[in-house]
Structure formats: structure tokens, C-alpha cells
């Protein structure tokens, strides 16, 4: 997974992301969970999986650990999304 790949996934699939918390959270709509699993790769899931919060229309992930695993700068993603929202 790359920074641009994650950014594109968030934008194209209308995911919600919150950076204003202790730990950044990503809400992925149910229809896109399988695609998100493919994006983050099986190796992170093979190592015991990742904790999620299952909600009615979304599954919520802590994005920080996923980004750390892939060497992605979460600040870069924040800047990309912030600049997109400012347009």
C-alpha cells in the first residue's frame, strides 16, 4: 500500500477519516471492506488481524497502525485530504 493508493481509496469510496482524535480513525463503508483488505495486504491480516469497530454502515479502523506497518506518513494523507477539502 502506498500513500497515494490509500488517499485514492479514501476519496473514491467516500470513506470518513478523523484526525482530531488521540488516534486517527478511518470509517470504511461495508461494500468496500473487502477492497480495503486487499489494499492493506494479507500480511498485516495474517499477523493476528487488526482490531475494528463494526457499525451499522461502516467498519471503523485505527489507521495509524496500518500506516505505520506500511511506512506511510499519516501527516501526508492528512495534508492531501485537507487540501482537497479546501478546494
pLDDT along the chain (87 residues), means of 10: 94 92 92 93 82 92 91 92 74
CA distance 85 to 31: 24
| pLDDT for residue 47 | 72
pTM score: 0.86
pLDDT for position 87: 59
d(CA 62, CA 83): 22
Q: Would you say 87 and 57 are in contact if contact means Cβ atoms under 8 Å apart?
A: no
d(CA 22, CA 50): 18
Amino acid at each position: 500500500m502506498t500513500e497515494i493508493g490509500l488517499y485514492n481509496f479514501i476519496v473514491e469510496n467516500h470513506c470518513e477519516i478523523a484526525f482530531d482524535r488521540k488516534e486517527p480513525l478511518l470509517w470504511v463503508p461495508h461494500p468496500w471492506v473487502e477492497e480495503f483488505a486487499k489494499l492493506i495486504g494479507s500480511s498485516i491480516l495474517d499477523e493476528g488481524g487488526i482490531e475494528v469497530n463494526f457499525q451499522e454502515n461502516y467498519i471503523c479502523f485505527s489507521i495509524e497502525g496500518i500506516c505505520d506497518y506500511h511506512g506511510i506518513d499519516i501527516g501526508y494523507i492528512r495534508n492531501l485530504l485537507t487540501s482537497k477539502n479546501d478546494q
